[in-house]
Structure 1
Amino acid sequence: MAVVSIIGPKGGIGKTTLSINTAAALTRALKPATPDNRVCLVDLDLRLPTISSLLESHPQKTFYDVFETIANKTYQVDFLRTLYRIVTLFKAHLNGDGRASSPQLSKSFALYQNLNPELFHFSEFRFGDQMHELFLHRGEVVTPADLTLLKPLLDRLDLKAFREILQESEENSRPAIDEYINYVEEYSFSILGGEVPILGKKNHRKRINEPAFLVFFLEVLHELFDRFDYVILDTPAGGVNHLSSLMNSIDQVLFVFDMSNSIAVNGSIDALHSFIDYYEEFYDDFKAGRLTGLDKAYVNRLIASQGQEAVDETLRNKKLGIIFNRCQDTKSISQCLDRLREYLDTLDQYDAYKKRIHMVGMVPHHKIINITNNRGALFYDKDRGLSSRINSVAQNVTTRFGECPTLDRSNREIINYLQKSSGFTFSKKISRIASNFS
């Protein structure tokens, strides 16, 4: 299993198009040896996912439904947990065993009066009718002294069985990932994503920024990772901030460098450095035990499933790759490499990263690299020149960048490798690449 994040400094640089075609190339490379459905493309733009629309694939269940399910199941578990606490204290008070202090009883009584049972699915639980009956009598129970009215009902509630129901609900609080994977038969790879309905956007935007929901979502993604040989994450600009726990825990991250002009190149270099800063801070906090919030919760889950040593090795040996997109000529690549080395050297980070930043691929400048209408986004297998480029990227993903030159190699070596690996040189007219799209 390999998980690769494809990320860029901003939107509109062809990152999604490259992600789609890399998934197609990986599928083709794996097909002779493995059955279909071994590659999954994940649209991590939780706010405005577009991949399903680009491929005209409209799944019945989308990211929005994932978060709706998480919200619903979280509410069910929280409600059940609160009700268990209320019932336990009420029974203790009525049995006079002294466990229910006056402040605790007052707090539980207030919860009982204010808990909203309308969204709770009583019918899905054992003795749900008895739970529901507690709320039917709520109008008669005005003060804690009135709890004696509930004693016959509370006596019938088995706390041990109630606790078992609660534990079972907590264990099954995540959505089943199979419901949300959309297999696209035409391309033989799967998609996780889909559009957010207009009427649901407000709640969705709120939820995707709540750590509790993101923890559940990241767990869903890890279940997905275990299902596929390769998972390609199309990560939005700003994804480093939004899903830093995930980005910092993936062993392969591919940066799309926009080579269309010098400003874009500088922006790409700066974005790579920002990621390095995030990563180093994350790793330092991990080693020192300073992770908090979502980062801590997520890493603890990783350690529980993979072990401390495996997680430490992944973080310590993270590989960074670069795809040079919209390349005008080899000179611009050479200048970019020089700027990147100088930039890292100025920040005293060159020695630390010169063998960790790999040159993975090169794609020439052309209109279809950033096309955003219908199936033009999938150019793989329709044009030999571009397909060759993407095949090279896919091959390097399968070898975990093992054959790619690193930043400490000379510009000539790097450029020769990029040209040779894709079977294309800039001396051949780029217009030939576009012949099928004219």
Structure 2
Amino acid sequence: MTGDDARPADPLDLLALDDELSPAERATRDRVRALVDEHVRPHVAGWFADGVFPRDLVPRLAEAGLLGMHLEGYGCAGRSAVEYGLAMAELEAGDSGIRTFVSVQGSLAMSAIAKHGSPAQRERWLPGMAAGETIGCFALTEPAAGSDPAAMRTTATREGDAWVLSGRKRWIGLASIADVAVVWARASDPTEGEHSAEARPRVRGFLVPTSTPGFVATPIEPKLSLRASVQCDVVLDDVRLPADAILPLHPGLAGPFACLDEARYGIAWGATGAARDCLDSALRHAGERVQFGRPLAAFQLTQAKLVDMALEVSRGQLLALRLGRLKDAGRLEPHMISAGKLANVRGAIEVARTARTVLGGDGITLEHPPMRHAANLESVRTYEGTDEVHTLILGRHLTGVQAFR
């Protein structure tokens, strides 16, 4: 096209990626985008400023089939990995905190029950969680065991027909509004005998109704990021549970890691939504803001910034789509998820920062999204594996050498 030709219908779709999506995938994306446009965008600046998670949004997310949407049965939508990823991108284009709610509910708490729970546990919890009537949280991280969950100190001890949990967790999303917590602890069962494998402490998951005496969740405040979300400190003070509260399948750290991979996959997509939203905001502002008698978009330096951002957004979308196709084909491996999470979040932060410069002084206000996205993405960069953790995962894949310790 020449400089005088009309712009394409969607200038942000540099590589015509829409052509790579099926009608069903485009329909899911457009449906979630419409939900965000109507119910998130008009209010999110206020939620962020006030540090409020919008509880009244939960029924709308459930009605849209977004809670556990990649799971089969129990009222879950059973959508493809790509559809799930597209939905996460649209939610995070609204705000990371909203996508975080869906990730914690579906990819962490619900996935833990679906992957590791008994049939009775699935029947008890999953239908209500899919309907948004029951909220779950996933308690793995501890004050002294963040990137190193193997160092967790929370214990679960068998006492007759009960399990007793004691310990502390930190940065647990949704814990203060949750009805059930998936708590990971070092479990030992003295009734099996000291030489039994069951008697030796091993990481196990437990379903803890948050109304159980001894379970206390306290929101962490003040926060400069994820302000439209809830993260908590959790204390487990001799929390007594029935014997069937334990998740029976897949003991060991492989249990929580399988859930973390689900969440990390969603983050790889979600970050592209935040980046796209920042680019869209900067592009619109550049076309409207006049300086020195011309719109900002007419200046070469501004166009260079817009191009750099558009390339990063397109690269991230391509990477996320590749991960989704691999996941739907049953070929996605953990190191691939690390590549997506690391590259896309890191790239999205740079897009957010560059978009802020295009907006000038107005960019530091909540009237525009880049600064809010940039703040949120600093948390997204840290949770479900820091840059350092994902770098070492990829380094191990490349070299075959374990460098964590």
Relative CO higher for 1 or 2, CA cutoff 8 Å, sep ≥ 6? Answer: 1
| Alignment TM-score > 0.5, same fold | no
TM-score class normalised by the smaller sequence? under 0.3
Larger radius of gyration: 1
* TM-score computed with the length of structure 1 as normaliser: 0.21
